[in-house]
Structure 1
Amino acid sequence: MLCCLKDSKADLTTAKFILYYGPSVADSDIYDLHDSKSLLEDEHLDLKKNTVLYLHGYLEDPDVESIHVIAEAYLERKDTNLIVLDWGELADGNYIFDAVVNAKQLGPELAKVLLEMFDHGLDIEKLHIVGHSLGGQMAGIIGREIIKRTKGEKKIKRISALDPAFPLFYLTAGLGSHLNKRDAEFVDVIHTDAWLYGAPSSTGTADFWPNGGKTLQPGCPKRNYKMLSDNDLSSHRRSWWYWAESVSDRFPIQFEAVPCKNWNDFKDKKYDETFTPVVMGHHCPTNLRGDFYLQTNGATPFARGKEGTVYVDPKDLLGTHIYEIQASTTKLD
């Protein structure tokens, strides 16, 4: 699988922390993985605020669209520090023999670094780990390792996994556990490409299944199954588009969802219609349990509010046939 890609370097020291402080994504400070002391002393890091650690996915690095979109969304907020882990060199190469192996090695090392940061001022109660795809699986590895190293005395408050990676984590043995609800006090998962690039089953404390959680998400083109092409990854990437929109203060309409056993029950309104919808994404209540369903638009803004809790024919959704999304991102030179 993916054998044609170049080998990645297994040097964990190539991973870096990037602190984004704005106003644009070009405004950032970079620190070596083991220089967390300097990061904590950075004048742009406010330890009184909540801190998000974002973990990108396979074959990504800080120059890709997802990082820009996520970073810009958080920079619009004034209540959150954003630290992105740049593990681009380790997330490169062959998926099976390089990226997954490196994630399994880097996760425990990150757990060790985070524990050191907790001892020097970073509040574990205010740390939120968000990861996309393979980054979502690595978030689980970090959470488990922190629990293991502290014999259960410390536990990450929240992990949010954006379409956590499917290959090698669910149907094969020997490569370790997949992300699960025990990895943090609260684990919320957004599924957008189940059974292909994304996790096939409920794997968190609360699992959200927009548009059924599978390909094709509204507005995505018919798959050409050219592995890792923009076309093929469209549904998988919707998870971070939805997340970024939920973070941004520019979008007043939220991703409202209702509890259901499955997508067919949602379509048939087989749920308690008196239930007050809950919110998917950044503002998700951490007391939720179970599976939740909703519909989205096919173009930004994706959220449909309460209307998204009542099924309509996908062809009637805003932007269903729109694929090229114009993002107001500032590209790094």
Structure 2
Amino acid sequence: MHKAIKNKSRLLCGLKRAKADLTTAKFILYYGPSVADSDIYDLTDSKNLLEDEHLDLSKNTVLYLHGYLEDPDVESMHVIAEAYLDRNDTNLICLDWGELADGNYIFDAVVNAKQLGPYLAKVLLEMFDHGLDIEKLHIVGHSLGGQMAGIIGREILKRSKGTMKIKRITGLDPAFPLFYFTAGLANHINKNDAEFVDIIHTDAWLYGAPSSSGTVDFWPNGGKTLQPGCPQRNYKMLSDNDLSSHRRSWWFWAESVSDRFPIKFDAVAAKSWEEFKQKKIEESDQTVVMGHNCPTTVHGDFYLQTNGVTPFARGKEGITYVDPKELMGNNNTYEVTVPEK
């Protein structure tokens, strides 16, 4: 009887290996001018991807990993892709792992991420051998994709016996459930996964990571629900309403990437959100911004406030605390849209 309970416990914790077809995952190379302009490759066809005429290996390359229950047709993928297409200095490759990120979170998605991460590390190592510059690769992941980014980073380090390390990994509100306070059942993203790991928290303790673990951790609006402008939660799990604060992380990231937004997410170091509110900040001669242009020389916890509507960044105004009602408060419900070009 004890054995049966133990096995059931292992299944509930997501430790039982799921039957996952990793070959369903695809690379999507977006080259613009719209998100409809893209080339799709099997993970086993990475050599041809590197030879694609739309991929410029002299540029920086971003690999974006979407989250749980997402696929290339969701809003986050389009917003992220459009933001990078505004730039001319970056290749964008998105991972479509929609079939593997589906189903039950514990039984399917987390287990699949733990299997897909090492496989992607193997594929990336092969791509480095065929011309992809590891020094120019930046992995960005949202939610469960953020946790998988960490898995990839540590697997590359392990498989290369410590000789290769991803330059930068960004976690956009990395998934909380099963990755924290679970006695190592699923190791969470951390500062050792890349040379520089920046994490943006927007829904801490609910869908998002509850604690600092990156080289630098950003806590916009305290890093928790409700983010300014988000509707009061109805606590219907995984509904648009309930996910609003969790999704703000990729909205903030996309805005920081796009050249259409001149105002940046200025942030300041502080020991806590409460000390930030009391203007007890750590003085620095260096301007620190959250997002794409974050300097890779900083470390620690940084705080800021954002607007409740796009554009979200407040520049220098965002580092001095104001009443959240001035930012379009929590009771406002509206659809957030990206300005037209």
TM-score range, shorter chain: over 0.9
- For 1:216-267, what per-residue CA distance to the aligned partner results, in whole angstroms no more than 9, with x for missing partners? 0000001111000000000000000000000000000000000001100000
What secondary structure sits across from 1:34 in the alignment? helix
Amino acid across the alignment from 1:213:
G
Where does residue 323 of structure 1 map in the other structure? 334
Q: Distance in 1 between matches of 2:43 and 2:297?
A: 33
Q: Distance in 2 between matches of 1:26 and 1:328?
A: 19
Q: Distance in 2 between matches of 1:297 and 1:56?
A: 24
Q: Which has the higher contact order (CA 8 A, sep 6+)?
A: 1
Where does residue 234 of structure 1 map in the other structure? 244
Q: Distance in 1 between matches of 2:169 and 2:241?
A: 28
1:253 aligns with 2:263: yes
- For 1:171-202, what per-residue CA distance to the aligned partner results, in whole angstroms no more than 9, with x for missing partners? 21352311000000000000000000000000
Amino acid across the alignment from 1:269:
K
Where does residue 48 of structure 1 map in the other structure? 58
Amino acid across the alignment from 2:118:
P
1:134 aligns with 2:147: no
Amino acid across the alignment from 1:33:
L
Where does residue 204 of structure 1 map in the other structure? 214
TM-score (norm 1): 0.95
- Equivalent positions of 1:20-31 (< 5 A) are 20-31=30-41
Displacement of 1:328 in angstroms is 5.4
Q: Distance in 1 between matches of 2:88 and 2:168?
A: 20
1:283 aligns with 2:278: no
Amino acid across the alignment from 1:190:
I
Q: Distance in 1 between matches of 2:81 and 2:225?
A: 26
What secondary structure sits across from 1:182 in the alignment? helix
What secondary structure sits across from 2:49 in the alignment? helix
Q: Distance in 2 between matches of 1:171 and 1:19?
A: 36
1:193 aligns with 2:179: no
Percent of matched pairs sharing the same residue: 82
The match for 1:215 among 213, 221, 225 is 225
Flag the 1:55–1:126 CA change in 2: closer, same or farther, 3 A: same
Flag the 1:314–1:104 CA change in 2: closer, same or farther, 3 A: same
Amino acid across the alignment from 1:194:
A
Where does residue 146 of structure 1 map in the other structure? 156
- Equivalent positions of 1:100-111 (< 5 A) are 100-111=110-121
Where does residue 269 of structure 1 map in the other structure? 279
Flag the 1:91–1:329 CA change in 2: closer, same or farther, 3 A: farther
Where does residue 87 of structure 2 map in the other structure? 77
Amino acid across the alignment from 1:144:
R
What secondary structure sits across from 2:246 in the alignment? helix
Amino acid across the alignment from 2:223:
G
Where does residue 161 of structure 1 map in the other structure? 171
Where does residue 15 of structure 2 map in the other structure? none
Work out the number of aligned pairs and report it: 324
Where does residue 3 of structure 2 map in the other structure? none
1:309 aligns with 2:319: yes
1:114 aligns with 2:129: no
TM-score (norm 2): 0.92
Displacement of 1:270 in angstroms is 0.6
Q: Distance in 2 between matches of 1:9 and 1:294?
A: 43
Q: Distance in 2 between matches of 1:96 and 1:329?
A: 39
Amino acid across the alignment from 1:323:
Y
| Runs of 4+ that moved beyond 2 A | 173-176, 272-277, 318-323, 326-330
> Considering only aligned residues, what root-mean-square deviation do their CA atoms show, in Å?
1.6
Unaligned runs of 5+ in 1: none
Displacement of 1:42 in angstroms is 0.2
